[in-house]
Structure 1
Amino acid sequence: MSARAVVTGMSVVAPNGLGTEEYWKSVLTGRSGIGELTRFDVSRYPARLAGQILDFAAEEHLPSRLLPQTDVSTRYALVAADWALADAGIEPGTLADYDMGVVTSTGQGGFEFTHREFRKLWHQGPQFVSVYESFAWFYAVNTGQISIRHAMRGPSAALVAEQAGGLDAVGHARRTVRRGTPLVLSGGVDSAFDPWGWLSQFATGRVTTADDPDAAYLPFDAAASGHVPGEGGALLVVEDAESARRRGAQQVYGEIVGYASTFDPRPGSGRPPGLRRAAELALAEAGLTPADIDVVFADAAGVPELDRAEAAAISGLFGPRGVPVTAPKALTGRMAAGGGPADLVAALLSIRHGVIPATANSGRVPEEYGIDLVTGEPRAAEVRAALVLARGRWGFNSAVVATAAAG
């Protein structure tokens, strides 16, 4: 019998809260982290709103030797890793180094770091480029830096699938635990708020140009006009349930019981998108039916055609208005690879506290969508199982099923 994969620690670094407690409080009270981007002058850009982390000072959390060699996204990841491991009660010597792995995802890499070094190359010459440019930009750097910092030498990986990547990382961590590794730290973190990174996001055609923070990112709303980019993410400690019991884990937030990923067919093929299939496969792996799911944490693109497609997948699987649907990322913006893991944290807390967060600002859901979007205020409910969905650009789909941990 395969090992059960439980979550024993987690942490969030998000525009509306640093740490799990602050993030969850913001999600329940509707406190937004969306405002005008201040990292550089955006006054001449058509899109100016972002989910930006404003109260993070890396030097307060990390040793000075790490600062010259890390992009802002890696700094977020390192701090989130510290907090998640502390939350799980993992200290040096708790487990052997080869019994702990790291699986992370980033969809954007070290944008700000590498573009700063490119400017040095062009304007000053190659001798001025940081030696750390050799790895600070790389998609695997978060996995590597966390592994080094915490002596986690077990099976590790780095996955890239844009917004879907964070859930893929958690799914891979679950698989790694079920294959015999006692503990895997997993999740996703992203940031791309330098001028190049900002333009690359706007070039997708999916970023809203609305200038009112409370009416910009409106998932599933009739007035949806695109999403607001965000930065940050979440990391979770995924652990073998028996190993966690033996070491006296401080708490178990829940269990990851199902995961699946699919890829959309080519445009114009006439075949449906793969999101519903991902959800069906994740439920099948979990041994659950749609009737067992108490809430869906939606991908929530905020683009009408994509919202319509996701609504069709949800209503087609669960029936019209057959399950509550929510999108906490309306308060943070889409955090690329960090969005899915942050939703998973919220899903596990919904299970623990018996409440479904509301989707901020959205309220005029087209009738033809056929979904029960939780709006206005959080909804009290018995939540035993949650489905978390994510879609990445170019056709990636991922689904994770989380439940309350078995006794």
Structure 2
Amino acid sequence: MSVITGLGVVAPNGVGVKEFWAATLTGRSGIGELDRFDTSGFPARLAGLVDGVDPAQHLPSRLMSQTDVSTRLALIAAQGAIEDAGVDTSAMTDYDMGVVTANASGGFDFTHREFKKLWSQGPEHVSVYESFAWFYAVNTGQISIRHKMRGPSIALVAEQAGGIDALGQARRVVRTGVPLVVCGGVDSTFDPWGWASHLAGGRVSVDPDPATAYRPFDSHAAGHVPGEGGAICVLEDAGAARARGARVYGEIVGYAATFDPAPGSRRPPGLGRAARLALADAGLGPDAVDVVFADAAGLPALDRAEAQALRDLFGVRGVPVTAPKSLTGRLFSGGGVLDVVAALMSMQDSVIPPTFGTASVPDEYGLDLVIGEPRPAAVGTALVLARGRWGFNAATVIRLPQNGS
């Protein structure tokens, strides 16, 4: 059994689990004006920004010159998760610790800055660190180097689904006999090129009001707000965690990933199948699920498809559904893992956070969407869903620790 013993969060509405969770329950949003460059010529200007942390206060100066924004945030989150787990990595065997992270975009800001130097000043002005700072695997590499973790190291690219995939892969690594794996996802793509790429996808809301720009499952939903950040977890073998007296947040009891069929095939999207497979992997039926943390794309067609998948699995309004990411924006590889953190906190505090911003859910969706204010509820098992662009789907089932875990 794989258990989660440490959590590290760098979210637009809070750095650290305590701050993030308080914001999630009270509706404190991290969405605001994108101010890192001139956005006056763009149709959308809102983003979920991590402004509550100075990486230079957390990382050695040599790393500041080597890393992109996303890697700095990943290193801070990883450090937070390790400290939260109360594990002394220096006392462990290096090959007994692995790292699995997801990253959807690589080091956007770093690499585009170096490209600008290449085009305007010449190759001799390009940083030598460009050779790896842009790469999707750099977060895994930098975490493993900093903490001397020489066990299995994996990097995944599956857009919004990637973070849940990272937890699923980490679970597999633990099953092979590796006692501890640092895992999760973090992204940041807020330079001019990155912002243009977001907008080119056609899914970003152009609503200028931070309170309504991203309102998933709402009758007036018109896109999402991109965000940055994410979360990193410490995943351990249950026996190893028990032997060192670790505090356990919860167990990963089920995981599955699917891929959508080709457009026009008339076959249904793969999200519902991922949810069913994750429940089957957990050995649980739909009636065991106390809450669903939805992918919540914020576009009518995609929201409708997710609502149908949930309706088919749980029945009409058969389970509470929520999407706290309306306060952070969609964080790509960081989004699913941040939802896992919120699910674990829901279990701990017996409360389901609402989907702030959403006010009117179409009846045809058949969803029991938690809106308005937190809902007190005994939460023992949660299903977390994520969809990545181009067909990626992932689902995981999280459960309160059972006796013996």
Aligned mates of 1:14, 1:395 — CA distance in 2: 25
- Stretches of structure 1 that go unaligned for 5 or more consecutive residues are none
SS at match of 2:4: strand
**How many residues are treated as equivalent by the alignment?**
403
**Residue from 354, 361, 370 that aligns with 1:365:** 361
Stretches of 4+ moved more than 4 A in 1?
none
Whole-Å Cα distance in 1 between the matches of residues 210 and 310 of structure 2?
27
Residue in structure 2 matched with residue 150 of structure 1 by the alignment: 147
1:186 aligns with 2:188: no
How many Å separate the matches in 2 of 1:178 and 1:318? 30
> Per-residue deviation at 1:108?
0.9
**Which one of the candidate residues 274, 289, 292 is aligned to 2:288?**
292
Aligned partner of residue 93 in structure 1, secondary structure: helix
Q: Deviations over 1:293-323 (max 9, x none)?
A: 0000000000110000000001110000000
Show the counterpart of 2:384. Answer: 388
Q: 1:175 aligns with which of 155, 166, 172?
A: 172
Report Cα offsets for 1:66-114 as digits up to 9, x if no partner.
0010000000000000000000012233421111100000101100000
Aligned to 1:219: 216
User: What are the within-5 Å matches in structure 2 for residues 301-312 of structure 1?
Assistant: 301-312=297-308
1:267 alignment counterpart: 263
For the pair 1:330 / 2:292, whether they are aligned, the reply is: no
Offset at residue 55 of structure 1 (A): 2.2
1:13 aligned counterpart, secondary structure: strand
The residue identity in structure 1 corresponding to 2:119 is W
Aligned amino acid, residue 56 of structure 1: V
1:223, 1:149 → 2: CA distance?
46
Please give the alpha-carbon distance, in whole angstroms, between the structure 2 residues aligned to 1:290 and 1:11.
30
CA deviations on 1:182-229 (whole Å, 9 max, x unpaired) are 010000000000000001011110000000000100000000000000
**For residues 231 and 201 of structure 2, what CA distance do their matches in structure 1 show?**
24
Letter aligned with residue 76 of structure 2: V
What is the identity, as a one-letter code, of the residue corresponding to 2:401? A
SS at structure 1 position matched to 2:65: helix
CA RMSD of aligned residues (A): 0.6
- The one-character-per-residue Cα deviations of 1:216-273 (angstroms, maximum 9, x if unpaired) are 0000000000000000000000100000011121x10000000000000000000000
Q: Which residue of 2 aligns with 1:348?
A: 344
Alpha-carbon distance in structure 1 between the residues aligned to 2:113 and 2:340: 33
How far does the alpha carbon of each residue in 1:270-304 deviate from its partner, in whole angstroms, 9 at most, with x for none?
00000000000000000000000000000000011
Q: How does 1:128-143 map to 2 (within 5 A)?
A: 128-143=125-140
TM-score, normalising length from structure 1?
Answer: 0.98
CA distance in 1, matches of 2:59, 2:53: 11
For 2:390 and 2:89, the matched residues in 1 are separated by: 41
Q: Which of residues 61, 65, 71 is equivalent to 1:64?
A: 61
**Cα distance between partner residues in 2 of 1:25 and 1:55:** 14
Matches within 5 A, 1:38-117: 38-117=35-114
In 2: Cα distance, 1:26 partner to 1:6 partner: 25
1:235 aligns with 2:232: yes
What is the identity, as a one-letter code, of the residue corresponding to 2:302? L
2:312 corresponds in structure 1 to 316
1:378 is matched by which residue type in structure 2?
Answer: P
Q: Secondary structure at the match of 1:262?
A: strand
1:124 to 117, 121, 124: 121
Q: In the alignment, what sits opposite 2:393?
A: 397
In structure 1, how many angstroms separate the alpha carbons of the residues matched to 2:208 and 2:375?
29
Give 1:376's match in structure 2, choosing from 368, 372, 392. Answer: 372
Q: Percentage identity across aligned positions?
A: 67
